[in-house]
Structure 1
């Protein structure tokens, strides 16, 4: 329900008792809060879009990544070049599998020593891509299922695949941003 629909619904309500008046006032206060929060979210999204445009990132080109997720990923990651490999970045995001061996059984699980907000952002991207029939993520997920893997395994594999893709993209963005600076330094000499 949107705030405008809520206003319409409340407008038709007439309070007859004192508790009804209190409920009506509380409902009006909640609707005002919702309007304010919607305005704040729109303003935050606009500000993030402007900052991402300044940053020059290609993260928003990935299916399922909007300005909010892109800003969250960049904020949690920092400089992508601080990770020597995509595996190191996957370990940081918690998408790299860890082997758990006990007696004759050996299995893999995801790390719990990671940046949980970054892991959550990658999970969100993976779930959005799985739900999008034409996305690269859905094709990767379907390929894993066709190989006989479970849905949970395919989802984890997609998250690891996305982490590597995000790292490469952020690294390319850093390189592209540093290139004009190095050109300016060489022409100033």
Structure 2
């Protein structure tokens, strides 16, 4: 610990360089920018309290900038937010800015300098203490399970290509789940007896691994459905938004989406803000390659769904193509419009329309699921899902209610 005996100001800012086991905090005076002191503390609840007491000993805390609020600094950020301290995410300095050397105190003071000089431009840290954090950890597990299942299926395909002819011929006509289920129930001999038996054992183990991963993914999907309905029921009920795309956008925004001050900031976060790409006589914009790529993927998926199923989106896309826009330009415009809509759904959510009374109204009218589905040009199972609330859809539920309440 080092301390400088300069005059204390009425308020201070601090910067924290975070690590796995320790954090280093540095304090600056707001009025003069003078270095007041720095301290290394353990990355534990007791260390967080020590850090807060150290910073508060120099004056009123105006702001604390933290590197890595979603990684090594997550615990500290939660502790400070609970204490009511204003915190910001400090961007790690670029390598070119480290010409004067690198150490924990240097990095901590650099973080404090950013918090002092750019308090309004630094991003507000995610709180990571609500349902969106629950969704995030489940999505991380789901993503790895999906990759492992794809890898298992790819290995099965490759092993069948090089398998002995008798074994290959046995499974030639099987594909998809039938192939997996059949392989999982086979009973080959010991792997040490022959090449055919060893290959059969490998295929059975891979098939069972595939089945286990599928069951794990299904379980996670059920939990994600429950959490997304709680966190963003209106978004999930909007055309084109599925459980995974909704969960992905929620993760991009965080548990405190109000930190995104404008819809343009959310579009930039998801890499959907148009970037000028003009040169000479050419005046155009292109897709943004930066931002949160998972959030960008979610916007892309929603755009593709709407292009294939939504009449208004098809009309809008046709209008853009008639104006000379390319397919990429059309997708860029759609993703930008969806980002604007998603921001409003996240920051200014409205209650989703109720659907728990639709079945009762249908019974009162003496209608069957098939009759309703034919009138609304959809499937009976889709109407059943809507009545049970397992797959909400604002447009479809409104059309359904209008049909049931029509004279």
TM-score after normalising by structure 2:
0.39
State the match for 2:181 in structure 1: 7
Unaligned ranges ≥5, structure 1: 177-189
Structure 1 residues 175 and 80, CA gap change in structure 2 (3 angstroms): farther
Residues 77-109 of structure 1, C-alpha deviation per residue, up to 9 Å, x if partnerless?
213322222122111111111112333333211
**Retained in 1: the 8 A contact 2:185–2:204?**
no
Unaligned ranges ≥5, structure 2: 1-174, 353-407
The yes-or-no answer on 1:114 pairing with 2:291 is yes
Pairing of 1:1-189 with structure 2 (within 5 A): 1-8=175-182, 18-78=194-254, 79-132=256-309, 134-173=310-349
**Retained in 2: the 8 A contact 1:83–1:89?**
yes
Pairwise CA distance, 1:124: 1.2
Structure 1 residues 113 and 103, CA gap change in structure 2 (3 angstroms): same
| Number of corresponding residues | 175
In the aligned structure 2, how far is the partner of 1:51 from the partner of 1:12?
Answer: 38
Q: Which moved more, 1:102-111 or 1:86-95?
A: 102-111
Structure 1 runs, 4 residues or longer, greater than 6 Å off: 12-15
Describe the SS at the equivalent of 1:103.
coil
Pairwise CA distance, 1:22: 1.2
Structure 1 residues 41 and 139, CA gap change in structure 2 (3 angstroms): farther
Structure 1 residues 82 and 69, CA gap change in structure 2 (3 angstroms): same
Q: Which moved more, 1:25-34 or 1:78-87?
A: 78-87
Residues 55-97 of structure 1, C-alpha deviation per residue, up to 9 Å, x if partnerless?
2431212233221221111012213322222122111111111
Structure 1 residues 105 and 145, CA gap change in structure 2 (3 angstroms): closer
In the aligned structure 1, how far is the partner of 2:329 from the partner of 2:250?
Answer: 26
Which protein is richer in helix relative to its size?
A: 1
Based on CA coordinates, which of the two structures has the bigger radius of gyration? 2
- Aligned Cα root-mean-square deviation (Å): 2.7
State the match for 2:362 in structure 1: none
In the aligned structure 2, how far is the partner of 1:142 from the partner of 1:86?
Answer: 25
In the aligned structure 2, how far is the partner of 1:53 from the partner of 1:23?
Answer: 45
Residues 26-82 of structure 1, C-alpha deviation per residue, up to 9 Å, x if partnerless?
111111111111111111111111112222431212233221221111012213322
Pairwise CA distance, 1:131: 2.0
Structure 1 residues 35 and 136, CA gap change in structure 2 (3 angstroms): farther
Pairwise CA distance, 1:159: 0.7
Structure 1 residues 138 and 22, CA gap change in structure 2 (3 angstroms): farther
**Retained in 2: the 8 A contact 1:95–1:159?**
yes
In the aligned structure 2, how far is the partner of 1:131 from the partner of 1:56?
Answer: 24
Whose relative contact order is higher, 1 or 2, with alpha carbons under 8 Å and at least 6 apart? Answer: 1
In the aligned structure 2, how far is the partner of 1:11 from the partner of 1:44?
Answer: 25
